[in-house]
Amino acid sequence: MRDRIELAAREILGARYCVALTGAGISIESGIPAFRGPGGLWEKIDPEIAHIDTFRRDPAQVWRLLIRGMQEVLRDARPNPAHVGLARLEAWGLLQGIITQNVDGLHQKGGSRAVVEFHGSFARQRCTACRRRIPTEALDLAHAALPPRCGCGGILRPDCVFFGEVIPPDALQRAHRMAAECNLMLVVGTSATVQPAAMVPLRAKEAGARVIEINPDPTPLTRQVSDLLIRGKAGAVIAALVDAVARLRQASTK
């Protein structure tokens, strides 16, 4: 693994425009379970609950089974060394942006600024009637009747993408632009199975970028798209990667 980290660190230092695509795996070490695999959310609840048709049919049930629990988990989550490490690369001018499928806001809490929230954000709730947005932390879900409502009487929903919904156009456009422009993409902690996010590394590859995956397990990208897989947990791998970059930067200024 050390050789791979050294190689990746050199690629990051040599890249003209480096972008990261992140998924649920990067936040596991912050205590947020992933969707797929052992311990994943879809082992506990049926993914149909996260479909927009289910929400339209029975918003109270979706609030009860999915959204209220998400608020409890996300409220206490803190960035881990992977989020902080990516923020450090951005601060050094070595990472131009992050496209994240996560709705937990941990990249921003970890210090990243250029973040595209491909599936929206759980930090806000949006009124389905007047479209007003309010901070999720302003809701007292322990005591509120479900579904919670806006002052106008409309039902509130997270400002995230449910299954069956389109990606926010602005996020889609920015992600496509970043994928087309980058010459290095780090793909961290995603199973790369949900479209259109899974197309992002493919677009980068087609545009000539190198693709480095960080994941304990191979994914559908590993054999066909990725140039390098660093097998391991995001926290340890990214921390080691940032250390290696720092060492090489220091060596080059001596």
Q: Which positions are catalytic? A: 119
Q: Are 1 and 9 in contact (CB under 8 A)?
A: no
Asked if 100 touches ligand OAD (CB under 6 A), the answer is: no
What the block records as the tokens of 209 is: 């970028």
Nearer to ligand OAD, 18 or 214 (CB): 214
Q: ∠38-205-4 over CA atoms, to 5°?
A: 60
Judge if the upstream peptide bond of residue 169 is cis by omega within 30 degrees of 0.
no
Q: Residues 6, 11, 35, 109: which binds ligand OAD (CB under 6 A)?
A: 35
Nearest approach, Cβ of 151 to ligand OAD (angstroms)? 28
The answer to the question of residue 110 lying near ligand OAD (CB under 6 A) is no
**Closest CB to ligand OAD among residues 23, 147:** 23
Least Å from the CB of residue 132 to ligand OAD = 23
Rounded least distance, CB 116 to ligand OAD, Å: 13
Helices 234-253, 81-91: inter-axial angle, 10-degree rounding: 30
Q: Which residue in the set 96, 101, 125, 226 belongs to the binding site for ligand OAD (CB under 6 A)? A: 101
Shorter beta-carbon distance to ligand OAD: residue 82 or 178: 82
Q: Is 15 in the site for ligand OAD (CB under 6 A)?
A: no
- CB burial string 37-63: b at 16+ within 10 A, e below: eeeebeeeeeeebbbeebbeeebeebb
Q: Identify which range of 7-15, 32-40, 66-74, 124-132 contacts ligand OAD by CB under 6 A.
A: 32-40
**Strand partners of residue 213:** 187, 229
Length of the chain: 254
Q: What is the C-alpha separation between 223 and 238, in angstroms, rounded?
A: 22
Q: Rounded to whole angstroms, how far apart are CA atoms 151 and 89?
A: 42
Taking the least distance from each CB to ligand OAD, the nearer of 14 and 39 is 39
Interface with ligand OAD (CB under 6 A) = 23-26, 28-29, 34-37, 40, 50, 101, 119, 161, 163, 189-191, 193-194, 215-217, 219, 233-234
